[in-house]
């Protein structure tokens, strides 16, 4: 029991040390560097302090954080009013300004009230705009990601930030290489967002690529490889429902395609069950292939993922992988589950 609790105790001790060190750093900087020319030093220590306090659970931390945010913003304005500092602002201080806005925005985001989220959006937009003017792509994209998350919280509408995540992944691929664990992790974030938005085929293809990159670069036992393989295994689960709405994981067809082997996703180690293939419906995100269409014959043999299920009409809205095909409403009876994606260009 002691050995199991040791890592937690050690982490808590480290957190407590960091908490006190950042407090001491703020007090020292505030005492020793009062001149306006040194304002960036105090802003830096205040920004670091904001990352370790807990404004949502600790009322004193909330008060301290709000006071620190006000002080950071006041220092920025005071420095900008200084004629000497203003002359070299873009060359020396603009990055500090953007980072400070980002720290303030992130603090208000963690506070997570309706008013604080509006403040968070305001200052993160300031940070994003400054980073954009500087041409600093990565922090600009990270700010955009947070802004999208805030907008989602305020509106109550889910925003998976797929476009921003893809830009972050592309940036890391260009700058540190596609085999770097950080890049692979960013790619996994993209794949997860794609899966949650029912772009399952694109997500699965990306994860397959990431697994191969990680396996060949870092080896099968590397934590990065294991994590990505776990994601891919979940992505490959083919979710179906019966006509009364009961969910299953489809495993494979049997009896020349007349039956489907399934298992209950809610029960661990559930035994496999055989049910009629005509009694299952491909659910959201499940890859399918069209067969037997008498009218929309150009879709026969084409694969896509299910984005909408209409039980009353007996149809799925399928978005096809092949460029230019778009989407179509296809009867359940004209769809078959794709358990293993073919290479790109075959059935696409």
Cβ distance 319 to 307 under 8 Å? yes
Structure tokens at 65: 């954080």
- Residue 1: pLDDT band by 50, 70, 90 thresholds? very low
More confident residue, 11 or 2: 11
Helix (H) / strand (E) containing 250: strand 247-254
- The string of pLDDT tens digits covering residues 68-80 is 999 999 999 999 9
Percent of the chain at pLDDT > 90 equals: 80
The pLDDT of 210-227, averaged and rounded, is 90
> How far apart are the C-alpha atoms of 288 and 281, rounded to whole Å?
10
SS3 221: coil
What size, in residues, is the chain? 348
- Residue 348: pLDDT band by 50, 70, 90 thresholds? low
Residue 284: alpha-carbon gap to chain centroid: 19
- Residue 12: pLDDT band by 50, 70, 90 thresholds? confident
> How far apart are the C-alpha atoms of 221 and 276, rounded to whole Å?
40
Cβ distance 135 to 82 under 8 Å? no
3-state secondary structure 80-142: HHCHHHHHCHHHHHHHHHHHHHHHHHHHHHHHCCHHHHHHHHHHHHHHHHHHHHHCCHHHHHH
């Amino acid at each position: 029991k002691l050995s199991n609790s040791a890592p937690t105790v050690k982490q808590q001790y480290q957190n407590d040390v960091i908490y006190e060190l950042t407090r001491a750093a703020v007090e020292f900087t505030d005492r020793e560097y009062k001149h306006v020319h040194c304002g960036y030093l105090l802003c830096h220590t205040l920004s670091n302090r904001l990352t370790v306090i807990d404004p949502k659970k600790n009322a004193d931390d909330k008060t301290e954080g709000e006071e620190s945010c006000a002080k950071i913003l006041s220092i920025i304005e005071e420095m900008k009013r200084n004629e000497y500092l203003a002359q070299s602002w873009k060359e020396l201080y603009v990055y500090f300004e953007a980072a400070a806005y980002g720290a303030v925005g992130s603090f208000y985001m963690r506070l997570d009230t309706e008013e604080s989220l509006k403040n968070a959006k305001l200052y993160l937009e300031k940070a994003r705009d400054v980073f954009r003017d500087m041409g600093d792509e990565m922090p600009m994209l990270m700010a955009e990601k947070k802004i999208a998350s805030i907008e989602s919280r305020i509106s109550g509408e889910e925003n998976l930030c797929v476009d921003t995540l893809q830009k972050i992944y592309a940036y890391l691929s260009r700058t540190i290489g596609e085999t770097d664990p950080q890049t692979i992790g960013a790619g996994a974030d993209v794949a997860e967002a794609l899966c949650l938005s029912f772009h399952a085929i694109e997500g699965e293809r990306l994860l397959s690529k990431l697994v191969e990159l990680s396996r060949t670069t870092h080896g099968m036992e590397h934590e990065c490889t294991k994590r990505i393989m776990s994601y891919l295994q979940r992505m490959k689960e083919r979710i179906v429902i019966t006509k009364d709405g009961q969910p299953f994981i489809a495993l494979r067809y049997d009896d020349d395609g007349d039956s489907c082997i399934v298992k209950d996703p809610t029960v661990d180690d559930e035994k496999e069950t055989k049910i009629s293939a005509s009694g299952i419906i491909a659910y959201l995100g499940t890859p399918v292939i069209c067969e037997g269409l008498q009218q929309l014959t150009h879709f026969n043999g084409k694969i896509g993922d299910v984005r909408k299920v209409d039980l009353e009409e007996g149809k799925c809205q399928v978005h096809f992988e092949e460029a230019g095909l778009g989407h179509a409403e296809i009867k359940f009876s004209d769809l078959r589950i794709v358990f293993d994606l073919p290479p790109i260009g075959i059935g696409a």
